[in-house]
Amino acid sequence: MSMTEIDVDNCGITHYPAKVLGGPAQPVEKIDDNIRRLVAKMTDLMVELKGVGFAAPQAGVPLRLFIISLDGSRENVRVYINPTVKPEGSLEQNEEGCLSVPGIYTKIKRYSRASVTALDLDGKLFSEQAEGLYARALQHEFDHIEGVTIVSRMPTTSRIAHRKQLKKLEEEAEKKV
């Protein structure tokens, strides 16, 4: 997929089980106006849907790019392009939701800390250590660019508990085809 193919105006929230959420995303080849417009659109969607993180595949674009704003504000959005996230520390179970899996909150095991290395919108490489919610958000968004959603991470008991909502999302996806 070349960068010029991103139709930013038509990007919107993509729900499970959309195909774009189920496979690894492609690296961003160059940071241009198209990518900047995509980031602006992703920010709009994340703020509007009250999220703290948003990955390009959630906007229907299979690129290795995500944003995080721990307080959900536009001002605090950070951009991570072609990121590498390394989980560290102990596993902790905590409730998580996902804008692409609406109506479902489930306990997900994640590492308590993580390190991230990524490019920002100016193409500068940066690295950070994260813990708590920030570490969890990094792991969650990195999962998205690897083609993993909370649906594949949730324990069987949660899958059973949420089967009606999952089935509803699957049926809605079939109608769109």
Catalytic residues: 141
Query: What is the three-class DSSP state of 117?
Result: strand
In this structure, which long-range contacts are made by residues 114-117, counting pairs with CB atoms below 8 Å and at least 24 apart in sequence? Answer: 114/85, 114/86, 114/87, 114/88, 114/138, 114/139, 115/85, 115/86, 115/88, 116/80, 116/83, 116/84, 116/85, 116/86, 116/142, 117/83, 117/84
Please answer whether residues 36 and 121 qualify as being in contact, where contact means their C-beta atoms are separated by less than 8 angstroms: yes
Identify the bridge partners of residue 68 per DSSP, sorted by sequence position. Answer: 53, 78
